[in-house]
A = this chain, B = another copy of it.
Amino acid sequence: MGDLDESELLTVLTPPLPASPLEVVGNGDDGAVLAAPDGRYVVSTDVLVEGRHFRTDWSTPEQVGRRAAAQNLADVMGMGARPTAMVVSLVLPGSTPVAWVRGLASGLGQTCRRAGAGVVGGDLSAGDAVVIAVTVHGDLEGRPPVLRSGARPGDLLVHAGDLGSSRAGLALLSAGLDPESRPADGQARRCIERFLTPVPPLEAGPALAAAGASAMMDVSDSLLRDCGRIAAASGVLIDIDDPADDPADEARGAQDRRLAGARVALEPVAALAGETDPAAAARGWVLTGGEDHGLLATVPPGTVLPAGVSVIGRVHDPLTAPGVLVGSRPWEGPLGWDHFRA
């Protein structure tokens, strides 16, 4: 790629990228101009660094592109908005193959297209490692934004999307599985795919906002850590169902056994990854595995839940201080991913 100048590189990058439905002026000037039909817009930004957020020996460039788009789109979803447009800054070493850059753009474009969002601009620089900085915008479609601070005692804690799958996929690859080796176990294969490309339930964001969610966020770090953020912002106590519960417990509704079901499904994967206590590992992955980019929300009791949304806990008065319990007991293990230390 070292032979290409900036404008030649742009002819590789831009063709796979869709335009935004709200684009007034697209790429090619000092900035883009976007429409804001309801007089407001959501903005969020996320950066991915080679060797920290992805490895080029584990991920194809398409997977890296899909991941960069997905985790940013999920932040817009977490506000209850519909993603509309992103800008992408790329730092690329001169040794990056042109095919890698083309694949990255292709992955970005695929995920944006699926979400109905466009790419309206960006910047390029040379550097020693790949860095992908995305800023994404969303349209609230007339609804109030759903913040972390709106959870109220009596609300139900709900979730849509994957829990622990990405972390399980990481465990498999870290244990030496080749990402190309496609293990016979379907769940294991799915976990590796999810680690390489999270698939946020993008439709659930606007749907839960429309259904009346009181608080909402994208689960990027871990279920426990992000429940802690809602608890702190809302001044409530959140009691998460214990994934160690019996998933066949007849005393609870099917919707109430989501975390136990997730734990059970991950146990064989934990065994395959060489964990000595697969049940404990799978429980930990569900509670503290990050990067699934599922959607975490609280809803008033009686809310009709959109498809794909399950109840995973309850919101209570903060007896002494805001916080999080697991199965009504304090959690004493690690909380999960800290982006900066990682």
Interface-centre pick from A4, A34, A43, A78 (highest chain B CB count, 10 A): A43
Q: Are B37 and A340 in contact (CB under 8 A)?
A: no
Interface-centre pick from A39, A52, A123, A138 (highest chain B CB count, 10 A): A123
- A39-B39, A89-B135 are known; give 9 further A-B pairs, CB within 8 A: A31-B43, A33-B43, A34-B43, A45-B88, A47-B125, A49-B125, A49-B127, A91-B131, A128-B129
Expressed in whole angstroms, the minimum distance between the Cβ of A140 and any Cβ of chain B is 7
Interface-centre pick from A30, A75, A87, A125 (highest chain B CB count, 10 A): A30
Query: Is A25 interfacial (CB-CB < 8 Å)?
Result: yes
Query: Is A44 interfacial (CB-CB < 8 Å)?
Result: yes
Cβ-defined partner of A45 (8 Å) among B4, B24, B89, B145? B89
Q: Are A127 and B34 in contact (CB under 8 A)?
A: no
- Using known A-B contacts A36-B40, A43-B32, A338-B5, determine if residue A49 contacts B91 with beta carbons closer than 8 Å: yes
Instruction: Mark interface residues in A132-144 (1 if CB within 8 Å of B CB, else 0).
Output: 0101111010000
C-alpha spacing A43/B75, complex, angstroms: 18
Interface-centre pick from A46, A127, A148 (highest chain B CB count, 10 A): A127
C-alpha spacing A275/B122, complex, angstroms: 36
Instruction: Mark interface residues in A107-131 (1 if CB within 8 Å of B CB, else 0).
Output: 0000000000000111111111101
Query: Is A252 interfacial (CB-CB < 8 Å)?
Result: no
Cβ-defined partner of A121 (8 Å) among B6, B44, B131? B44
C-alpha spacing A338/B218, complex, angstroms: 38
Q: Are A127 and B126 in contact (CB under 8 A)?
A: no
User: Which chain B residue has the least Cβ–Cβ distance from A124?
Assistant: B340
Query: Is A211 interfacial (CB-CB < 8 Å)?
Result: no
Tell me which residues across on chain B come within 8 A of A147, comparing CB atoms: 25, 29
Cβ-defined partner of A148 (8 Å) among B29, B41, B48? B29
Tell me which residues across on chain B come within 8 A of A36, comparing CB atoms: 36, 39-41
- Using known A-B contacts A45-B123, A89-B46, determine if residue A78 contacts B40 with beta carbons closer than 8 Å: no
Interface-centre pick from A32, A41, A76, A131 (highest chain B CB count, 10 A): A41
C-alpha spacing A48/B91, complex, angstroms: 9
Say what secondary structure dominates the interface of chain A.
strand
C-alpha spacing A24/B36, complex, angstroms: 14
Q: Are A135 and B43 in contact (CB under 8 A)?
A: yes
Interface-centre pick from A125, A126, A233 (highest chain B CB count, 10 A): A125
Q: Are B33 and A79 in contact (CB under 8 A)?
A: yes
Query: Is A342 interfacial (CB-CB < 8 Å)?
Result: yes
Q: Are A47 and B89 in contact (CB under 8 A)?
A: yes
Expressed in whole angstroms, the minimum distance between the Cβ of A218 and any Cβ of chain B is 5
Tell me which residues across on chain B come within 8 A of A128, comparing CB atoms: 51, 128-129
Query: Is A272 interfacial (CB-CB < 8 Å)?
Result: no
User: Which chain B residue has the least Cβ–Cβ distance from A342?
Assistant: B126
Cβ-defined partner of A79 (8 Å) among B31, B74, B137, B338? B31
Q: Are B138 and A49 in contact (CB under 8 A)?
A: no
Tell me which residues across on chain B come within 8 A of A9, comparing CB atoms: 340
Tell me which residues across on chain B come within 8 A of A76, comparing CB atoms: 30-31
Cβ-defined partner of A6 (8 Å) among B5, B6, B218, B338? B338
Q: Are A30 and B125 in contact (CB under 8 A)?
A: no
Tell me which residues across on chain B come within 8 A of A48, comparing CB atoms: 125
C-alpha spacing A323/B328, complex, angstroms: 72
